Amino acid sequence: MDLTLRVWRQAGPKAAGDFKTYHVEDVSRDASFLEMLDQVNEALNAQGEEPIAFDHDCREGICGMCGVMINGTPHGPQRGTATCQLHMRKFSDGDMITVEPWRAAAFPVLRDLVVDRSPFDRIIESGGYITAPTGSAPDANLIPVPKDAVDSAFDAAACIGCGACVAACPNSAANLFTAAKIAHLNLLPQGQAERWNRTVAMVETMEEWFGSCTNHGECETACPQEISIDFIAWMNADYVRAQFKNPSKTGRDNL
């Protein structure tokens, strides 16, 4: 396959950026999108030019490091797929492909396609943990958990924190990410001790950095793990309940 790429190049956070055009030849249809970018960078290195900076790590759709806008769509045209899992057979010979970083005020561009996603870390730091005692694991049968709760918690925990939901949202909201991180703890017995404090802390930290959710649903469509926006409704319900159950907010004992 021969392709034409329009890639966003930006030397640093305060530098002006623009699109550069690159022609790529003999791209394998079985190559991943990141492997295609590797091929472009090999050619740039051979020409003595600065390679394109982009985030990546495991390249197995697990770590959440990769993620770019491909023709205006987070992670590209295939649903339920991270950028590293997208293969070039989804494109046609002669295509022009536009590649951009995530576009959100909370995700400033560091260089080229690399953005700063540290606001996600701040949300996790504010409440994404439990204070269960450490040591050997108890027997599984000692902590009965309903099957539905286990399945829902696992679905929420599948979030890889890539930021596609923020990039896809017209408001740059992080509600799907935050809701998934809250739900996978709030649905389990081990997460009940901090449930109300966790919900308030994570939601209010989120609101410091990101826009408001208006239920466009683009986040669910863009999510490589196809996490349901139902988790946002559950997060909102827990946040309302927390105003009555959270002593730090009401000065009352738990109801």
- pLDDT per position as a tens digit, 29-63: 999 999 999 999 999 999 999 999 999 999 999 99
pLDDT at res. 63: 92
Three-state secondary structure along 95-140? CEEEEECCCCCCCCEEECCEECCHHHHHHHHHHCCCCCCCCCCCCH
pLDDT at 145: 80
Burial label, 221 (beta-carbon count in 10 A; 0-12, 13-18, 19+): middle
Determine the average pLDDT of the residues in 12-35.
Answer: 95
Q: What sign does the CA torsion over 19, 121, 238, 212 have?
A: negative
Domain covering 117-250, topology: Fumarate Reductase Iron-sulfur Protein; Chain B, domain 2 (1.10.1060)
Whether this prediction's pTM lies above 0.85 is answered by yes
The Cα–Cα gap between 217 and 98 comes to 23
pLDDT for the residue 252: 41
Residue-wise pLDDT tens digits, 52-98: 999 999 999 999 999 999 999 999 999 999 999 999 999 999 999 99
Let me know: does 94 contact 35? Beta carbons within 8 Å: no
CATH topology of domain 3-111: Ubiquitin-like (UB roll) (3.10.20)
pLDDT at residue 251 greater than cutoff 50: no
Is residue 135 scored above 90 in pLDDT?
A: no
